[in-house]
Amino acid sequence: MKITCPHCGEKSSISSSKKITQSLRELYCHCDNPLCDARFVMSLAHKHDTTPPRPVMEQAIIELVRRLSPREKRQLMDIIKQP
């Protein structure tokens, strides 16, 4: 992964990183532009999921099915049985 230098806009390399929390890291960067040569720290954070983890999705489906009425469960089974 390349990071854009916030000073000159050229590409920078990540020389090391430090875990702050499970979803946040600090990236220690060095600008590849010899005329800039800046060293800086950027943050890399998990913002949100575009697809939740499979176990979370499976549990959500199980909970949804449990809340269905018997009639809705029969309708679901009919849909599943269709080729």
| Alpha carbon distance 77, 36 (integer Å) | 64
17 or 33: CB nearest Zn ion: 33
Answer yes or no whether residue 7 interacts with Zn ion by CB under 5 A: yes
Smallest distance from Zn ion to CB 39, Å: 10
**61: DSSP letter:** H
Answer yes or no whether residue 42 interacts with Zn ion by CB under 5 A: no
Site for Zn ion in 60-79 (CB under 5 A): none
* 40, containing H or E segment: strand 39-45
Pair 31, 10: CB distance under 8 Å: yes
Backbone angles phi, psi at 57, to 5 degrees: -65, -45
Part of the chain binding Zn ion (CB under 5 A), chosen from 8-16, 22-30, 48-56, 63-71: 8-16
Answer yes or no whether residue 29 interacts with Zn ion by CB under 5 A: no
